[in-house]
Every structure is written in C-alpha cells, then in structure tokens.
Chain A
C-alpha cells in the first residue's frame, strides 16, 4: 500500500522533470541543449540542425515562431542552456552514485520504461519523510533531528548536524560582513550630526547677519532722522536769526530815530521848523504803532513749530517680535517659504534618515521670490515707520518761503496721516495684514500707473499723493539686489536734505521736469528693476487682474466711434516717393519710420545702412550712417524712434545693439551686444520710447521686450517664447499709447499684445487670418494721441486701425505696387497732421496717407 503510493508520487515527480528535460522537437531528453534568444531550448542535433533549411540565414523558433538570425557557425553558435545541462548531468551522477540502491529505493520503473537507461528518480523529501531515513532511506536507528522535523539515522544525523553547523557558520560570517554596513550608517549619522551643527551655525550666522543689517538700517534711519531734525533746527534757527536781525534793525532804527529827534530838539541854536516837527510827530506815531504791535503781540514772532517724533511703536515691535522664522524642511530642497503670518516655529527633526534643512524663511510678499525680499520689505517698514512729522501754524506758510511748511509736509508726512480719498483704505485699517496691503498697493499703483499723470496734474494740491505712490511702488516691487534698496534709501534721503527740490532730483534723467511734473511723481521707479517677480505677481494675482481688465482697456479711443484723424477716408496715398537704389531718395528695404517733433520723417533705409530724413512732404533733407560696426555705423538697421528730447534711437539689427543719436544725427551712445542675458540683444527690431525717455526694444529672437534707461542702462525685460498670454513669438515692433500701455506686434503669433509699462500683461487682440480685425504677421504699429492703434498688417498687405481696446475700426490697402498698394509693408508712423507714413518695403518706397 505504502509502496504503491510512493511509486505514484515518484512517477509523478519524475514525469514533471522528464517533461522539463524533453526537447519539444524530438520529444526526447535534451542532447546538447541550445538556448535560442527567445529563451526556448532545443537539441542542437538533430532538432535545430533539422530546422535549418538550405542556406537560410534565419531560424524560426518552433515554440514561438520568433525569427532568429543564425550565428556565424550555425546552430552550434547558439549558447548552451547550462541549467538544463546541469540538470542532465545531475541525474547522471545520481545514477552512478546510487546505483547500488536502485532496487531498495523503490525507484520509478514506469518512468524509466521508455528510456534506454536506468535512471534513479530524484527523491522527493515529501515522500521520504514517511518512512526510513530521509537522506539514505536506510531504515536503521532513527532519531528526530533537533532542529528540523526530519527523522534521520545516526550517520545522516551527524552529517545533517554538520551541515546545520556549517549553515550557522556561514550565517555568522554573513553577519560579520554586515557589520561594516551598520557602522557605515553610524558614521553617516555622525556626519548628519555634524551637518546639523553646521547648518545651525549657518542659520545662526544668517540670523545674526540679518539682525545686524537691521540694526544698521535702524542706525542709518536714526542718523537720517537726526539729520532731519538737524536740518529742521537749522532752518528754524536761521529764520529765528533773521527775525532777530530784523528786530535788532528795528530797535536800532527806533533808537536812532529817538536820538535824532532828541538831538534836533536839544540843539540850542537850532531852529526847528514846524514842518520838521510835524514829520517827527508822524514818524513817532508810526514807530509807536510798531512798538505797540510788539507789545500786544500782533506782530508775531515766527510761530513755534512743534517737533515731534511720530512712530507706531507697536507696529514695529510687532514686526520685530514676529520677524523671521526657523523652519526645517525634510529633504535637501529648500522651498522658499512664503509666509505672511510670520509665526515662530521650530520643528525638531527626529528621523535621522531624512536630511532636514534649517532655513530661515523670511516673511515675504507673495509677489516675489527674490532672495532677500524681507529685508527690503522690512526696510521699507523702517523707512515708513517713525517719520518726522512737523506741524506748524498755517500763518507761517508763505509761498515766498523756499522751505514752506507745505513742502516739508509733502515729504515727511506719511500718507496714512494726511491723505485724501485714495488712501482712506490704509488710514482706516492701518494694521491690515502685510499681504493685503501689498495687494492693495499693487492694484493702486497699477491704476495710478495708467492714469497717474492725469490724476496728479489735476490734483496738484495733494503732493502727498504723489509721495505715496512712490512708497507704494517701492513696497510692492521689491528689488532683488541690496543696493537697490540702498538706492531707494539714498533717494529718500536726498529728498530729505533738499525737500523743496525733490521733484527735480527725482527726475535727473529728464531735462524738462516741469512739463513732466505729473508723471514724475507717478514715480517712474528707480527701484522697480525686478520684473520677473512682477510677472509672477501677475499670475498669482490673476483674479484681481481679471477684475481690472476693463480698466486697462479703456482710453479715449474706446469711447468714441470716430477718430479726430479720419481714418475711414484714408486709402489713397497722398505722397509716394522712393524706389530701389542707394542714391538719395532711393531705398533698399526701408524698414522703421519715425517722425520727429518737427514733423520730419526718418526712414531706416535698412540695406543701405543709413537713415534718410525727409520733411513731411517727402522732400529729402539729409541722411547719415554707413555700413560698419563702429560708432554711428549700421548693419541693417531696423526700428527707429525719436524720444521726447529729440534724440534718435536706432536699432542696429545685425550688430545687436541700440544706437542713440542727437537730433542732428550725431552719435551719442550705443548699448547692447549679442546674447540672451539682460541687456543683451538678439536681432532686435522695433523700438519705442515713452514720455520719460525709457527705451523699449523688441528683442526679436529672444522673444521678449527689453526696457532701457535713456542712458542705455538695463531696466527690465518681459516676455518669454511661446503662444500664451504675455509670451511672444518674434515680437517685431511696439508702440506706447498715450495712456502708457505698451502695444507689441507679436508677429508670429499674429496678434497685438498689450502690457503696462512695467511689463504686466493686460490683454491682446487679433488672430491669424485676413478678415477684418485679423492679422497676418503684423509688423509696424503706431498709436495716435486719442489711442487709436494703427497696425501694419504686413502679411495681408494692408493697414488696420483699431480702437485702444482692440476693436476693429477700419482698414485700407491691398497687395500690389500701385498707389495705395503694398508689398510687405513694414512700419507705420504718424505725422502731426494725422497723415500715416508707411514703409512699403518690397516696393522700396514710402507712402503717405
């Protein structure tokens, strides 16, 4: 019974192994098992050999039909299947070793029936445990192994135990090998501790540095305030001295009068005429009058101006007590924490596997990710905090006084204390969260940037408003570099020293400050250099943006149906001049056009590398420039613009630079070079200037707009390659509207994009196509005083006129070389009489409509 069961078991297990060792072609045990790349195994001979037909280079696997390339030396070149081979070998060995035991083992007769050899089946442990020694099957004295369930005879137990011992030894040696790993971890932990110490040191140093810096700033603030007080004192003393002198003069004149009268009367021989007596008496009365006025105080002393140190102590100490935060971040990545709440917290890190980083997160505006925003932030606090507030009786405010109390007020009173309508928010809730305030400022300054000039001019009584805007823009556009904040500091300091001149010195780049008074106080910010963070602001504040979009789009042209300049009736060219050539009055690819204040037309005669100047009737005046890369030389100039001082700004396209000329065409300066960094240009094209002389350049191949000061200093860049809002695909030309918006022809995106002068995306219009209002490779653009936008729709060979908000107004022009037709028009410009000048590039001519 038992025998029977065992036999079945053995047969079965043998069958399995047999199957595995059987070639599926010959259905026999493998002979030279060869492994194909598809992992199927067959005998080399005759099976695989038989598969190869003729001179075929390929072999198809009989199992999976995968095609394999035959090795160079035929099927023998396939690798041997070593596993199968060792199986085969194993079985042979057993056959030899255990040949004596075959009968007793109760082996698998059935299984071996079909093979020629006598084969001992591999004993299965499961079967063996039932009877006899599990190892040798001899039924001698059996004992249960102490460590496993096997029942073994004595010699086998010994060897088994030996085996177990070896196992244990092996494990021990493995353990030994493992020890270094643990100690490695130990050293890592040590390293970590060291790292922590270092980080802590660094963090401490950071804290110290920052705090020191603040102390410095407080110190400088202290100096500043002291200086202000000194200045005030000086002024007061000076006026008192003057008063004193007046009084002394008064006393002297009175006493000399008395003396004169006395001496006249006391002179014995003198005959005093009644006239003289009468005069004396009148003079006496006069003097008496004056003396009496001093007595009853009606001739007042210079009024006492009180001097107080105003500050919100709590606010600053709040800031200080909540300032800074120690945060620990798991992982090496330091996220720039954006914390408005400024809570103090330190999370200890217990896990030694993570690598926490201690970083000092700085309270910073959501708008910026600049490296040290909080310092600037706080320094603006410092600046704002504790302003000197001087109040004086109004009687003293005489316009003649160069240091009138009003101008003092204008500079020193923080708007919160004294401002009209616009500031009511802040006045009402001075302690709003930082973020909220900033947001408020942000939108305020946006609007003020757009309407600022006008508002301020209409409201000259509130100089504080202007001052406030300065503050605002500073506080929300935090400069990246420390020196910027310094410059802001010096700016405010210098204002402090010469308060009456503050308008002038803020406007050092503008030679006609009076004419631009309004715009200046809109604070064309010397501090607003960082543009990237502003753009981020855009995205974070997009919701707000949407709410305000309607505001952005509005200007005069939005509200009126018909322009002053009658665009509807344009379409017939009034004047045409030029043809291909390089003589005067001839052009080779005319590109940019600009109109001077004298209504002369400047043409960038691109491939003649010169500028030609005509009067508004097309009469040639002069030309300047030649090919080259020195000063005053061009290599395929493109855009051209005239700024408010009459300077000519020319884009020297292939020299990747901007050149500035005076209105006579004499070279002034050049800036820019080939590259992608800030201030570098790559095939720049169009150029425009705003009223303050800032130069906006279409950096065409960098797909961005760059803004420079009129002296060529880089101010900011905005835009990235792409098709989304605020992204460009080869911006060609741009123009600045009277309400200070920047209209850019985003040529390869076939649209016009509109930005604030700070580069904040406002809206865009135009889509690819040739219908009304659609654009194809728009190039030149100009905006009339009412805000109508004239676009050179180059790919459609027409000029289109839009309202300032992008609504289509009218269009004219078609393809051709007749009058009023264009071939690849490039730029447009406006004469003061409303005529449109168009550079008709491929006709090499200029047309005026």
Chain B
C-alpha cells in the first residue's frame, strides 16, 4: 500500500486517542482505509440501547471525495435503506474535505436522533413515518431490540 496519506494516519491516531463518545472506529488490520465502526443508538431516540455496526471506507480521492459509509446492522429509519445505505447530504454533494471521519460519524449519530422522512431513502419507512409516526417509532424500537441489541 503505497503511502497512506498523512491525513488518514492523523485521523486514525486521533480517533484512537480521543474516541468520540458513543462511537468507536477502528481501521481494519489489512486495510487502513477500511474502518469498522460501532455507533450507539442516541439517547431519547427509538434506537436507544442499540449498538449499530457500520463500515466506512476512505476512497483513493479522500479527503477530496467523501468516505463511503453503510449500516451493517438492520435499522428501521426513513433515511437508511434495507442495504444500510445512508441518505446524508455530507456523504454526497455536501461533502467537504474539511470534514473528517469523526464528523461524518457524528452526523450519522445525529441522523438517528432526527430522522428526516421528507428526504427519504427507504420509501416505505418514510411513508409510515409520515402517516403514523408513533407506530413507526415503535417499529424502529422493535427493530433496534431485534437486530441491534448488544451483540
């Protein structure tokens, strides 16, 4: 692996040295651009108590292009589809090289706290969320219990 950019090294070191509360990210042993991420379900959200597994990959152009992030744990969320793909602007057109892995993960955590059914990725979930938010939240809770409860 020819020359891991200094930025990635620095970010990694910092992630390890000063982990973000509720988030852990560790590089894969064989690929320093691949990170195993665990995100705690935020407090006061349907995902509270859950531990969500994500994968994060830093492409060749990083930091000029956004990292690729995906939920590995099933989650009932209007902005996250069945495959775990996330609809988050900073992962797409709003990416900026001034953002980092930690900021991306923080944003994802925030997205769990504040679902945005008006900009959906999972249409059925978003529909449910809009029509009957209570039931949707209950469903999300169920899913959390079912799929994301510790280990």
Contact = CB atoms under 8 A, between A and B. Distances in A.
A102 B1 CA distance: 36
B10 A25 contact: no
Nearest to B63: A25
Contacts of B63: 25-26
A62 interface: yes
Given A50-B64, A51-B64, A28 B97 contact: no
A673 B64 CA distance: 77
Contacts of B133: none
Contacts of B98: 24-25, 62-63
Contacts of A47: 97
Q: Determine chain B's interface SS by DSSP, over half rule.
A: loop
Given A50-B64, A51-B64, A25 B6 contact: no
A27 B96 contact: no
Contact of B11 (A27, A51, A63, A114): A27
Nearest to B6: A28
A24 B10 CA distance: 11
Most buried by A among B5, B11, B94, B98: B98
Contacts of B97: 24-25, 47, 50-51, 62
Interface residues of B, number: 14
A27 B64 contact: no
Interface string B83-96: 00000000000101
A114 B100 CA distance: 19
Contacts of B10: 27-28, 114
B93 to A, nearest CB: 10
B13 interface: yes
Contacts of B6: 26-28
A469 B98 CA distance: 89
Interface string A89-122: 0000000000000000000000000100000000
B94 A65 contact: yes
Most buried by B among A26, A60, A65: A26
Most buried by B among A25, A28, A50, A51: A25
B130 interface: no
Most buried by A among B5, B64, B94, B97: B97
A47 B63 CA distance: 9
Contacts of A28: 6-7, 10
Contacts of A65: 94, 96
A28 B98 CA distance: 12
Contacts of B96: 60, 62-63, 65
Interface in A37-65: 47, 50-51, 60, 62-63, 65
Interface of A: 24-28, 47, 50-51, 60, 62-63, 65, 114
30 contacts: A24-B97, A24-B98, A25-B7, A25-B63, A25-B97, A25-B98, A26-B5, A26-B6, A26-B63, A27-B6, A27-B7, A27-B10, A27-B11, A27-B100, A28-B7, A28-B10, A47-B97, A50-B64, A50-B97, A51-B97, A62-B96, A62-B97, A62-B98, A62-B99, A63-B96, A63-B98, A65-B94, A65-B96, A114-B10, A114-B13
Given A26-B63, A50-B64, A60-B96, 19 more contacts: A24-B97, A25-B63, A25-B98, A26-B7, A27-B7, A27-B10, A27-B11, A27-B100, A28-B6, A28-B7, A47-B97, A50-B97, A51-B97, A62-B97, A62-B98, A63-B96, A65-B94, A114-B10, A114-B13
Q: What 5 A-B pairs come out closest when comparing CB atoms? A: A62-B98, A62-B96, A24-B98, A25-B97, A27-B10
